[in-house]
Chains A and B, each alone.
Chain A
């Protein structure tokens, strides 16, 4: 056999080879949202084309939705026009839309898995780079641009080139207080923000085997931050258990047949990889970024590096990062003052993220002067968290409990940093200006580290703050 999951999924979805050598690849599942789809529908209209398989496209609204005042019309006219355009495009084309009133709205990469739409052995595309998230189920999932959204709407296919596969193996048990977020930040730090160019990352090893489905999503989510457009984990019983009973998951006899198919899509034991790297879970500590890309990361007990310590090629970027972040080389990162704490995003806005934080946060208070917000990843996450009493714990601690959406991960809605505020953030990108203020500063970390920063008002080791042992 000797095939990887990527080989098998690619083969099963190949329609034909195009004249320029690209593969016309069937995209089984298409997810859309309000930011990157309206232009694609416009292109379809211009070309006189129809949506080929409306039942295989699913929509939600996430990037621009306000998380506090959610009554329409939105105060932002442009945001209001975008949600209306999506609503109309879905209605005209017969596309399922998890709209605000459905109770199923949320970040597209949280809604897909939650609804059971994301399934092993499938191909998925969405006009958003964090589509790699869905690889946690053993799907091959691509972030795409708007012209490709048009291609998928019109033909349910895209022109693609098969990536190479790098097996990224992590073995062993993570220490208490070290999370999936730390694992992926560590991998990106080691392999670089462009180390994955041309590769799909297969995340494997005993650490990933032991991970929950939601932990796997956190890791696959940030594949793209390491330059790998696609990241995946081979499906196993953890995957199947997660999917069972979800609205769009197969039922009855179909379920058993699907599980048998899904099992067969996993990489063979003797599969050949283009590259293999291996890390030990025990070597990973809570990790935070100090710079302006996710690869500029250090352990919480490390010091802010000197530009002279990084490879010559990265030195100018390091200098730019130190200047933007107002950080001094040689200083501990721990103790850096924090203005905002943001808990949410497609990386870490799931129920298990909120549960883990609430468990430790109970009875603690957000430090005066820190603005702390929790943005559940979906209305589904929010409603379960509320019924479990998690919202209450967050509110009592001084966090604002918000409605579902992308929010301060990219600042397209009213949730933005102001001036050069520093944000302890559970999101995925610390690019300059990412959180809505051109001079805003982002420090990426795990959800519990965000809570620790909120409680102490500075970047802290959550293990010390919450006595995690």
Chain B
């Protein structure tokens, strides 16, 4: 199963500010009544978008200026809460291909990498600076360069970090672990045989 080597993500950006944006916010549980992930994209941040609309405001994801954006920026502890893969799946199906935040909740991070959606960390100041540049020119192209570990917009570079293992997995095209795991099946069986509770 050859996967694409993900070294760069380029696209327009959208800033969804907030700390601790949890998975219930990203995809409310009532939209998880499904047996496939198809069609989840339209429910990304559903309630937050509806609230904005009801208040006569526009949520960044509905703002015409940011339509088609593929790089999402946010605050710290992004994706905290539930382990639902529905959350990164909804963002991916909405069109997001990379997320830049101050920090990520662990399960969300792992789920995103497995989809080949890089989650990189930038400082609060840099995220605000990038958000300001997007605000002043929504058509500006952002380039996330995983090899150089930087994100660029309007000739300005900002450093980003990502855990080494996730970096390696993305750039080597091994972000979905299943192929590697399957290669170890003989070793799995001998390890399982050594554990009494694994006996049939």
Q: Residues of A with Cβ closer than 8 Å to B?
A: 12-16, 18-22, 24, 26, 28-29, 35-36, 38-39, 42, 47, 49, 52-53, 55-56, 63-64, 76, 78-79, 81-82, 85, 119, 122, 127-129, 131, 143-148, 150-151, 154-159, 161, 193-194, 197-198, 224, 227, 229, 250, 254, 257-258, 261, 293, 313-314, 316-317, 320, 410-412, 429, 431-434, 436, 438
Contact = CB atoms under 8 A, between A and B. Distances in A.
Interface string B100-111: 000101110011
A432 B27 CA distance: 11
A145 B197 CA distance: 24
20 contacts: A18-B184, A20-B174, A21-B165, A21-B168, A81-B35, A82-B35, A128-B82, A128-B83, A143-B83, A145-B88, A151-B178, A154-B178, A158-B181, A193-B77, A193-B80, A250-B197, A258-B196, A293-B22, A412-B30, A429-B24
Given A21-B164, A155-B181, A433-B25, A85 B33 contact: no
A431 B181 CA distance: 35
B111 to A, nearest CB: 4
Nearest to A18: B180
Interface string B156-188: 000000011100110010101110111011011
B186 to A, nearest CB: 10
Contact of A22 (B77, B84, B177): B177
Interface of B: 1, 17-20, 22, 24-25, 28-30, 32-37, 47, 50-51, 76-77, 80-86, 88, 103, 105-107, 110-111, 114-115, 163-165, 168-169, 172, 174, 176-178, 180-182, 184-185, 187-188, 191-192, 194-198, 200
Given A16-B187, A42-B35, A53-B192, 11 more contacts: A19-B180, A79-B33, A143-B107, A161-B165, A197-B103, A197-B105, A412-B33, A431-B22, A433-B25, A434-B29, A436-B29
Contacts of B47: 432-433, 438
A197 B109 CA distance: 11
Given A24-B181, A128-B83, A411 B196 contact: no
